[in-house]
Amino acid sequence: MPRSVFDLFGDQRNVDPFRLVILGFASLEDQLHGALAEAFDDQLPDELRRSYFKARLALARALTLISDDFRDPLGLLKKLRDDFAHGKLNDLSRSEASRLYAAIKKLAPDVVTQLPTLKDEDPPIILMTFLAILEVGLNADVEDWRERRARREEAMREWAERRRPPALTAEQIRELLRDAEQLEV
């Protein structure tokens, strides 16, 4: 399975919205799992891996892996995925595409001026744009989290270094050993 939604775009089979929603969601879910595993030092507990998507999303938010901006759009994608997977949808309608476009505008308000005709595009084009924006945004949030984590770890190392007693010299160690021998006698 592709690690990135961008890998999906080059495959002609993925112009089908059903396939694109299923595979796009799986790719983004896999990326979310990877970020959660990284937050747990690559030891994501099975209970978390098997938990409901909403719970994993809430955990990612609580750990500041992702911003709150992604909760609703990822929920929308999850609902589309479930509706396709369970036969409630056979194709991506104009109304679903409008909901995707509204989510795009919340995530990337500049889309209105940068891509003014996007709202009138075919639903699969809107879906592809939605998936691309989700992936780019999630990757940016996770990278930001990594940088914050590295800064915190560095600050803790510096703090510990400042509080560490100075290293003993060889002469001080010999003196301590002599004192210890004298105590034993």
pLDDT digits (tens, 9 = 90+) for 128-149: 999 999 999 999 999 999 999 9
Cα distance between residue 96 and residue 80, in whole Å = 8
* pTM of the shown model: 0.82
CB 32 within 8 A of CB 57: yes
Q: Distance between CA atoms of 33 and 77, rounded to whole angstroms? A: 16
What was the pLDDT predicted at 29? 94
What percentage of the chain carries pLDDT values higher than 90?
74
How does the average pLDDT of the chain come out, rounded? 91
Angle at CA of residue 121, ends 2 and 78, nearest 5°: 45
79-106 pLDDT per residue, tens:
999 999 999 999 999 999 999 999 999 9
Count of C-beta atoms within a 10 Å radius of residue 41: 7
Alpha carbons 66 and 158: distance in angstroms, whole number: 27
CA atoms within 13 A on the CB side of 84: 19
Q: What is the pLDDT of residue 163?
A: 86
**Half-sphere exposure at residue 15, Cβ-oriented, CA atoms within 13 angstroms:** 3
